[in-house]
Structure 1
């Protein structure tokens, strides 16, 4: 009898082991298999959340098939205690194993609400936007000018949320004074700026920031980025340039940046200035005159007067020889590269053509015809504006 009982026990044990092994294999397959999600979602993980709470949330949203398997998988891979707070984009069909990796590996949030502080040439703005996980496109919720407007409630609400992300976006062609002035108005940053960085030394780009970061630290990041861009471009410069140093390249790049907003023209514009420098001709470019008036502290907001074109300032390239003593703005990578690798052209003149671009010329006679055409376009535009 005891032998019979022992035999049955062994049989049950063997069956149990096989059943357990089957359950484990099933769980492993479930954990690694493609998930049921058919549209991307934005998963919010609050501070202090547990893996159990997250697993229930995922199951409720249809992102996983079994919350228990999700928790066991996270425990088995020793990631349960590595849960990070934030908002995370979960693409369609993501396996449980990859979801666990997404919410435990750290790094910035990949979806949810984002505040972008845009520092532009003419003004600064604050934009609150939210990523639509289905389209992977940001939808703007509210925007305002921090220099003129009271922050709206939509902004103050997202500022209070722990998973809101922040970026400072610096446009090409802004001056260092404009950057410091705009940063001083951003409540997400702290600390004073002892000195405005040298003109041209800040790299236009988009910078992720966190609440409490100092303004000085952000400016240091911008400076380091510009140094790296300039060093790389200088190392790859073409031969025969009338530029004695990276600093002179930065000056020329800033002029190119202010002269054209058409990306395809940068190297053509650069060729004009390089040709003029090589021939000993004055650069005669209006943005340098404007900088001599404003010193980069704001926008002139009107046309130049003849007396200003003849005015004696260190930056007025109508009266000085060669390059001005400093950059006149912070140029982007493309303008720096254009300054050090211009197109090979015979052009020494250019003027606006009414389309946003420029008409280039080799001879003064041809240039005068282009100028006359531009004056005609200007007159038509002015007449149309008055009639409207």
Structure 2
């Protein structure tokens, strides 16, 4: 043991510890050398797993795909809604049975749209691929694909019209239908007289002539049903068919709306008294049928008056066997609700209207007055003499 109480073993251990902490001086060359960089930490074996790498790849592709789709949709929506290339109004016909591809090609060929693929995609996204309607469409300048699609879905096609005057025969109506350059198809049979309602009918390109006829029949059935239900109770008319017959006569006797109820009242009074109707237009129809008014038949000849004729109301009692034309709604309403008068006669007054009379003597004075007016007109207009228009001279005897 040493003097300070420590053993030789302790002194030896202390000497070794001191040696451990002793700094070994570096040589000048070693002092100027840089310290070595620490090595990077070892990578986890999970990061290098191929499955993780593939999943990361898929996520990246998905994100890029979503971004691409979003950009594409935004661009497509902008293209679909922007002003189109059409510089001036243009009419385009979409044929019946056309599919989306055909419609897009037609629109692009006519300069209505400039990208058929964008149009088809937009229509598909809006779920309207099966809702586009055929027809004739008039597109405004600059119309967008969105507006084009809307017009085709709603069927906003160009409408045409054909008009049939009241009182026309079925033969005249069919002739006008056949001469229309837009309507399609043929009419094999002339419809029954009185079965069509004269009016103006609108239609789109592609409509057939038979479709117009069918539409006129439905309109007549509907109008007649409504009018018959509102008729006066004490009429000498037993059926809707008889109402049409008398209305067709009223229609031919006067073109003035304000006179129809009064003319109808004359015929109703005559039927109630058992008098013959004595209507000139019935003579013409019985002799010439549906072509009775294709020519100027302004006056009834004595030979025509005396000829055998099942429609001649100078020869037969009551109503003729059928209508002499297709009456309009106003004429049928006039027969259903005629004026309440005692009039039994009427004759043209030379001014487009008629003079009415309750007695035969009054009627004869009206006839003489009318003849005087006619003589004055012939004297003043010798070269353009008119003798009562289309033969509607009114009831006289």
Give me the TM-score of the superposition, normalised by structure 2: 0.61
Query: 1:297 and 1:340 mapped to 2: Cα distance?
Result: 28
2:268 maps to which residue?
Answer: 274
Q: Structure 1: give runs of 5+ residues left out of the alignment.
A: 3-9, 112-130, 132-137, 139-166
**How far apart are residue 29 of structure 1 and its match?**
8.1
**How far apart are residue 250 of structure 1 and its match?**
1.1
**How far apart are residue 252 of structure 1 and its match?**
0.5
Q: Whose strand proportion is higher, 1 or 2?
A: 1
**How far apart are residue 76 of structure 1 and its match?**
0.9
Alignment CA distance shift 1:40-1:277 (3 Å): farther
Counterpart secondary structure, 1:295: helix
Q: What is the 5 A alignment of 1:306-317?
A: 306-311=302-307, 313-317=309-313
2:319 maps to which residue?
Answer: 323
2:236 maps to which residue?
Answer: 242
Q: Tell whether 2:221 aligns with 1:174.
A: no
Q: Please tell me whether the aligned partners of residues 55 and 71 of structure 1 are also in contact (alpha carbons under 8 angstroms).
A: no
Query: 1:341 and 1:263 mapped to 2: Cα distance?
Result: 14
Q: Tell whether 2:268 aligns with 1:304.
A: no
Q: What is the 5 A alignment of 1:1-388?
A: 41-45=90-94, 50=102, 52-53=104-105, 56=108, 70-80=119-129, 83-90=132-139, 96-104=145-153, 110-111=157-158, 169-178=163-172, 188-190=184-186, 192-193=188-189, 197-205=191-199, 206=201, 208=203, 222-299=216-293, 301-302=296-297, 303-311=299-307, 313-386=309-382
Query: 1:25 and 1:347 mapped to 2: Cα distance?
Result: 79
**How far apart are residue 317 of structure 1 and its match?**
2.2
- How many residue pairs align between the two structures? 325
1:145 maps to which residue?
Answer: none
Give me the TM-score of the superposition, normalised by structure 1: 0.62
Query: 2:240 and 2:94 mapped to 1: Cα distance?
Result: 47
Q: Structure 2: give runs of 5+ residues left out of the alignment.
A: 1-46, 48-58, 385-397
**How far apart are residue 80 of structure 1 and its match?**
4.3
Q: Please tell me whether the aligned partners of residues 56 and 67 of structure 1 are also in contact (alpha carbons under 8 angstroms).
A: yes
Structure showing greater radius of gyration is: 2
**How far apart are residue 71 of structure 1 and its match?**
4.8
**How far apart are residue 277 of structure 1 and its match?**
2.3
Q: Deviations over 1:275-329 (max 9, x none)?
A: 3323433322211122232233443633112354455533222343322222112
